[in-house]
Amino acid sequence: MSHHHHHGDTSVESDGGLADLLDLDADVLHEYWTDALGRVRRAADDGPRRRIVDLGAGTGTGTLGLAHRFAGAEVVAVDASDEMLDRLRARALDQGLADRVRTVRADLDDGWPVDGPVDVTWASLSLHHFADPDRVLRDVHAATRPGGLLAVAEFAERPRFLPDAIGPGLEQRLLDELGRDQADRLPHLGSDWAARVTAAGFELVEERTFVIDVAGDADGSVGRYADLWFRRLRPRLAERLDPADTATLDGLLDGDGPETLLRRGDLHVRGTRTVTLGRRP
Ligand SMILES: C[S@@+](CC[C@H](N)C(=O)[O-])C[C@H]1O[C@@H](n2cnc3c(N)ncnc32)[C@H](O)[C@@H]1O
């Protein structure tokens, strides 16, 4: 999909926008992904690791990263979206992993879709989308062999990109409105995941916060990431913003204009993600 969206381009709100954003996330936050998946690899015990599951796998950054780290294991990528899984399979083929990566299209709200015992489960930014994450966590527990591992990666602090001088304070107001918007739509966002992992029957191994701090340059992936992030937020937040903020945001999103996010040197991605590790006793 092209990154040259224009105002009112409805395709941005399709899965395609999200798939591009996930690919940019893997690129821009490469260091976080390496650290987080490396931590999962080290926490897994020395037992057999035949089957790994990625819940809400998206375009497969976790799936492929785990397939590379767990030699010989089969990685089952579960997602409700065909578009995500198509892209994931193409990446697996590119990376020579097609024989060990399997995709399962399933809505995890409908029940547990993976056969057989599971050794490691990875769920990144997906549990907060499920209607009943506790039920899914109990299903993961039931499917996990004793000694097996669960890793839940979630947002702690939302990513920020902009200097405060823009709008002044525009980004904080956007985040405040986003929080209000999401309080109803995504009630599980920001939960105490360690408590929920434990309640599902896992022993807590650790809860680790990863600090994200990536400076952008004038024409790199940070700009494309910021552009797509705010482009996806705009229709959701436009009615809640005052006209001056909407105008500032539109200037940032005007790919041909002087303020475009795509070509500025002052972006800086900051945020935190938490990875919660549990082991089935
Ligand atoms: C924010 S993305 C995260 C993708 C990936 N785990 C990552 O971290 O890059 C959330 C993913 O969960 C999937 N998803 C959301 N609700 C789902 C459900 N009920 N069943 C299966 N997949 C779901 C979406 O299709 C999307 O690919």
- Here the tokens at position 106 are 């399933």
Q: List domains and CATH numbers for the chain.
A: 10-279 (3.40.50.150)
Q: How far apart are CA 221 and CA 215, in angstroms?
A: 11
Tens digits of residue pLDDT in 151-185: 999 999 999 999 999 999 999 999 999 999 888 88
Tens digits of residue pLDDT in 192-224: 999 999 999 999 999 999 999 999 987 789 999
Q: How far is the CA of 62 from the centre of ligand 1 (A)?
A: 12
Query: 15 pLDDT band (50/70/90 cuts)?
Result: low
Q: Residue 271's beta-bridge partner residues?
A: 212
Q: Write the single-letter amino acid at 21.
A: L
Q: Does the C-beta of 130 come closer than 6 Å to ligand 1?
A: yes
Return the pLDDT at 8: 37
Q: How far apart are CA 163 and CA 259, in angstroms?
A: 13
- What's the whole-number average pLDDT of the chain? 92
Q: Which atom of ligand 1 is nearest to the CA of 25?
A: 9
Q: How far is the CA of 19 from the centre of ligand 1 (A)?
A: 10
Return the pLDDT at 91: 97
Q: Does the C-beta of 121 come closer than 6 Å to ligand 1?
A: no
Q: Which of 79, 86, 140, 158 to mutate to test the pocket of ligand 1 (most atoms within 8 A of CB)?
A: 79
Q: Does the C-beta of 65 come closer than 6 Å to ligand 1?
A: no
Asked if pLDDT for residue 4 goes beyond 80, the answer is no
Q: How far is the CA of 243 from the centre of ligand 1 (A)?
A: 33
Q: How far is the CA of 88 from the centre of ligand 1 (A)?
A: 12
Tens digits of residue pLDDT in 132-152: 999 999 999 999 999 999 999
Residues 6 or more apart from 243 whose CB is under 8 A from it?
Answer: none
Q: Does the C-beta of 22 come closer than 6 Å to ligand 1?
A: yes
